[in-house]
Amino acid sequence: MAQLDSRIPPGPLADKWRNHLASMRLVNPANKRKYEVIVVGAGLAGASAAATLAELGYRVKSFVFHDSPRRAHSIAAQGGINAAKNFQNDGDSVHRLFYDTVKGGDYRSREANVQQLAEVSVNIIDQCVALGVPFAREYGGLLANRSFGGAQVSRTFYARGQTGQQLLLGAYSSLSRMIGSGGVQLFTQSEMLDLVVVDGHAKGIIVRDLVTGAITRHAADAVILATGGYGNVFNLSTYARGSNATAIWRAYRRGACFANPCYTQIHPTCIPVTGDYQSKLTLMSESLRNDGRIWVPKKAEDRRKAPGSIPEADRDYYLERMYPAFGNLCPRDIASRAAKRVCDEGRGVGESGLGVYLDFAEAIGRLGENAVRERYGNLFDIYHEITNENAYHVPMRIFPAVHYTMGGLWVDYNLMSNVPGLFVLGEANFSDHGANRLGASALMQGLADGYFVIPNTIGDYLAGQKPSARPSTDSAEFRQAEDNVRGITSRLLGIKGREPVSHFHKRLGHILWQYCGMARNKAGLEKALQEIPALREEFWSNVLVPGSGDTLNQSLERAGRVADFLELGELLCRDALVREESCGGHFREEHEYPDGEGKRDDVNMAHVAAWEFQGDGKVPLRNVEPLAYEFVKMSVRNYK
């Protein structure tokens, strides 16, 4: 049974972080250079952490599987980043951001962590501006804001539709500076394939060089994972193709608890699948729902007709019908589920029947085509680029897609997992978003973790570690871990079955999407829990991985990741099955109000489920961290 001590500092909420800063142990400046820290991942969380730790004087090794740190998936984030600056004078405050995030997360996040996040959010914007991030500005030269879902204030900072890119380039520039000055040693195209735990502490990693195939051992005084989310377990998602769960999954297999794996976010406005070859789903900004009206035909037999030929009377503007107050602007999870429902009824549009119309005809009539072009021109262009359809004339077709994973490795208030010395930042951990993440909060969390939390909290751990006690990479633990990695690689190459890796990934995706997607139920999850192990077995006996292990071998890379997804997918379903309630992105059909809104069970389910690996073929242990809400009152979300 894992020890889950959340280490929440005592005292009033607003003072927790400040008090904690004042009471943590410190490492003397001259001693810092004696410590080595491994940072895996250089997205927003990893790059900011690696750069900042190096600035402090620690010796940092940074590992990414990409060919450059700048390619991390954070680059793709579009909308913006939240911060409680109250530059709009509209009543925002640290407390309000904290409250909105807790509520948005459907009361399944840890209060103290969210408060810490809200408090440092203020510094993030200062830091990014100083780094030269070209945020949108007003004519007076000061920062502009936009509003985002789940908040009644304008606190989102943005850089056109490329906020993630600009923030990442900011963090990457700091990282580059520290690489240039020798503070950080960078390892690109280097995939972490195992965690080394010595005497219960994380003390190193095993890495495979994706170009040469060389497998190397790296020892450190602490290991930080900032390896992003695991949404690609569904195969099709808005994630980059390379995003994967391998780092956190292998850490899980070494004893780190995996918290709330079933909390996944599904975004309602993505471009639908066109065929079996599809590799990726593209997000269309949520802002489109401000002026677009969502509908499907009332009669299933109309679904193949040209949309223009369907008279008003035969259209079902279902969101406006079901949620008259919020209409097309209801929250992501609700809009996604409604789309699924009408498609399940056979009324979905497009080739596959998995799509709904997002229609701008009314807006064009009201505002004129030019005004619509001005607001959404670039999104219409993207849509045209991908579908070859002109959305000014025919309605867009959209469908929900997997977009974010709230679950991740369990961490305490210091962002340390239950394995001492193993820290987890960004989307890879579970800490801040509960069962649902609000828009523009993931970027905030990544940078908060990397720039402001870990540089302070890691010292508290390292102060208790003697640098001279860093284990040698010749120790038995390192050897065993390396053998493990070599074993997996040669096993994958040795199967020489008859089915390419991509097929297994697709099949896993189908199972998860079907049974553990937007709406879940007991029977489906139980079915998935039978199908996934069977698929995994088939994978290990019939996968075909061509080529060798000592050159660039993209099939081998993917095989390793899919192998992990095949295990993680099972855990996801298991977690979803046990969580007998609906909350945020996790919707159990057995637990809904008559109006379709999810029904939480605050009596039995107000806790974090932290799964602990027990060995292959064994059911993992479900540890529980109760969520004590001291400062906010749990209530029912209502968007009618």
Partner 1 sequence: MKNISVTLRVWRQAGPGQPGRFVDYPARDLNPAMSFLEMLDVVNDELTLKGEEPIAFAHDCREGICGTCSLVINGKPHGPRQGVASCQTYVRSFEDGQVITVEPYRLRPFPVVKDLVTDRSAFDKIQQAGGFITVRAGSAPNANAIPVPKDDAELAMDAAQCIGCGACAAACKNASAMLFVAARVSHLGLMPQGQAERDRRVLAMVQTADGLGFGSCTNQYECSAACPKLISHDFIARLNRDFIKASFKAAFRSEPNRVVGD
Ligand X SMILES: Cc1cc2nc3c(=O)[nH]c(=O)nc-3n(C[C@H](O)[C@H](O)[C@H](O)COP(=O)(O)OP(=O)(O)OC[C@H]3O[C@@H](n4cnc5c(N)ncnc54)[C@H](O)[C@@H]3O)c2cc1C
Distance of CA 482 to the CA centre of its chain: 28
Q: Does residue 239 bind ligand X (CB under 6 A)? A: yes
285 binds partner 1 (CB under 8 A): no
Write the CA distances from 189 to 68, 380, 571, integer angstroms. Answer: 8, 35, 28
- Indicate the pairing of strand 499-500 with strand 543-544: parallel
Does residue 336 contact residue 149 with C-beta atoms inside 8 Å? no
427 binds ligand X (CB under 6 A): yes
Sign of CA dihedral 82, 86, 90, 92: positive
State the binding partner of 55 from partner 1, ligand X, none, CB within 5 to 8 A by kind: partner 1
The answer to whether residue 125 forms part of the interface with ligand X (CB under 6 A) is: no
The backbone torsions φ and ψ at residue 318, rounded to the nearest 5 degrees and listed phi first, read: -70, -30
Strands in 190-198's sheet, in edge-to-edge order, are 190-198, 201-209, 215-219
Cβ-based neighbour number of residue 96 at 10 Å: 18
Please identify, using beta-carbon distances, which residue of 321 and 393 lies nearer to partner 1. Answer: 393
Identity of the residue, 544 or 632, whose beta carbon is nearer to partner 1 in the bound complex:
544
Q: Which of 14, 24, 143, 463 binds partner 1 (CB under 8 A)?
A: 143
Cβ(366)–Cβ(372) under 8 Å? Answer: no
Q: How far is the CB of 346 from ligand X (least distance, A)?
A: 30
Judged by CB under 6 A, the chain residues 64 through 83 that form the site for ligand X are: 64-66, 72-74, 76-81
Question: How far apart are CB 321 and partner 1 at their closest, in Å?
Answer: 31
Q: Is 547 in the site for partner 1 (CB under 8 A)?
A: yes
SS3 helix, strand, coil % of the chain, rounded to 5?
40, 15, 40
Stretch that binds partner 1, among 159-167, 294-302, 305-313, 520-528 (CB under 8 A): 159-167
From residue 36 to residue 65, what is the string marking binding to ligand X with x (rule CB under 6 A)?
----xxxxxxx----------------xxx
Restricted to residues 431-460, the positions that interact with ligand X (CB under 6 A) are 439-443, 446
| 632: contact with partner 1 by CB under 8 A | no
Ordered strands of the 184-187 beta sheet: 184-187, 59-63, 36-40, 222-225, 422-424
Residue with Cβ nearer partner 1 (19 or 282):
282
Residue 446: contacted member of partner 1, ligand X, none (CB under 5 to 8 Å, by partner type): ligand X
- The answer to whether 217 is a known catalytic residue is no
Question: Which one of ligand X, partner 1, none interacts with residue 386, CB within 5 to 8 A by kind?
Answer: partner 1
Q: What is the dihedral of CA 471, 473, 478, 479, to 10 degrees?
A: -140
How many Å apart are CA 500 and CA 554, to the nearest integer? 12
Closest among 224, 189, 185, 207 to 478, alpha carbons compared: 207
* Partner from partner 1, ligand X, none binding residue 43, C-beta < 5-8 Å depending on class: ligand X
CA dihedral 536, 260, 47, 159 (to 10 degrees): 110
Residue 87 binds to partner 1 (criterion: CB under 8 A): yes
Binding mask 403-422 for ligand X (x = CB under 6 A): xx------------------
CB of 200 to ligand X, least distance (A): 22
Within 10 angstroms of residue 357's Cβ, the number of other Cβ atoms is 24
Residue from 116, 145, 166, 227 touching partner 1 (CB under 8 A): that is 166
Beta bridge partners of 525: none
Contacting ligand X within 274-303 (CB under 6 A): 283
Size of the site for partner 1 (CB under 8 A): 78
Nearer to ligand X, 403 or 600 (CB): 403
The CA–CA distances, whole Å, from 108 to 176, 216, 311, 335, 629 equal 37, 39, 44, 21, 10
Instruction: Just list the catalytic residues.
Output: 332
Contact residues: ligand X, CB under 6 A: 40-46, 63-66, 72-74, 76-81, 163-164, 191-192, 226-229, 238-239, 243-244, 246-247, 283, 403-404, 426-428, 439-443, 446
